[in-house]
Amino acid sequence: MGAGCSSGVCPSRKSDKLKNSKIIFVVGGPGSGKGTQCEKIVERYGFTHLSSGDLLRAEVSSGSERGKQLAAIMEKGELVPLDTILNMIKEAMIAKASTSKGFLIDGYPREVRQGEEFEKKIGAPCLLLYIDAKAETMLMRLIKRGETSGRSDDTAQTIKNRLELYYKATEPVIAYYQGRGIVRKINAEGSVDEVFSQVANAIESLQ
Ligand SMILES: Nc1ncnc2c1ncn2[C@@H]1O[C@H](COP(=O)(O)OP(=O)(O)O)[C@@H](O)[C@H]1O
Ligand SMILES: Nc1ncnc2c1ncn2[C@H]1C[C@H](O)[C@@H](COP(=O)(O)OP(=O)(O)O)O1
Ligand SMILES: [Mg+2]
């Protein structure tokens, strides 16, 4: 049990509707397996999975003007503006707050400032799942995913940019939360089930 989430209730909520929500950040490089593990967590534990990338892709699919601007950023493998993604996550959380057993925030924070702003506007995470795979493993998985995903960012050049940005901007997020004792590092090199057995141990340490 990490600081700030004893008995499943986190302190100092910034939104009344979310004040009793359990929040788990799922952080790892592109292609490390965040989405895959989140699906398995939902299946077994019934948490609410919110993927920042999925929220953004839904906006792009809507064909809105904002979606067009986001698509141009994502195609290059860059980060969209912090306020945009944070507001989308907050709205999605509020919509599910009354029925959710807890939230898996997948793909956020991608930089330390995103974590700070999330805590100011929403609340503190009680666990950070750090999905750790080698760069070569992530690259191979993304190239393979690109054969069928239809994602404009699963292309060789954009994958390279995303990996570089991950090491530069997102890895510091892990060090930032390590100081609070809420980081659980998951070795994501094995099979989906091998990875999930570690993930399940981390989730159960919270119950
Ligand atoms: N443990 C694993 N072993 C092999 N392939 C995996 C594993 N976890 C995920 N994958 C595959 O790797 C790709 C990236 O996984 P995904 O869950 O989309 O990662 P992320 O959300 O971190 O980008 C997907 O095609 C997925 O099926
Ligand atoms: N928290 C965030 N801040 C800014 N941009 C984000 C973001 N989460 C996602 N994006 C944008 C930039 C990413 O390259 C793109 C795809 O994200 P994703 O679906 O989470 O990728 P993946 O699951 O492969 O790691 O969406
Ligand atoms: Mg994903």
- The pLDDT, as a whole number, for residue 120 is 96
Q: Whose CA is nearest to atom 16 of ligand 1?
A: 33
Per-10-residue mean pLDDT, the chain, length 207: 44 67 96 98 97 98 97 98 98 95 97 98 97 98 97 96 98 97 98 98 91
Any atom of ligand 1 within 6 Å of the Cβ of 145 = yes
63 CA from centroid of ligand 3 (Å): 21
Q: Which atom of ligand 1 is nearest to the CA of 191?
A: 1
pTM for this model (two decimals)? 0.93
* Site to substitute for ligand 2 among 34, 52, 114, most atoms within 8 A of C-beta: 52
DSSP secondary structure, the chain, as one string:
--TT-GGG--SS-SSGGGTT--EEEEEE-TTSSHHHHHHHHHHHH-PEEEEHHHHHHHHHHTT-HHHHHHHHHHHTTPPPPHHHHHHHHHHHHHHHTTT-S-EEEET--SSHHHHHHHHHHT---SEEEEEE--HHHHHHHHHHHHHHH--TT-SHHHHHHHHHHIIIIIHHHHHHHHTTT-EEEEETTS-HHHHHHHHHHHHHTT-
- The interface predicted TM-score of the complex, written ipTM, equals 0.94
Q: Which atom of ligand 1 is nearest to the CA of 32?
A: 22
Q: Which atom of ligand 2 is nearest to the CA of 73?
A: 12
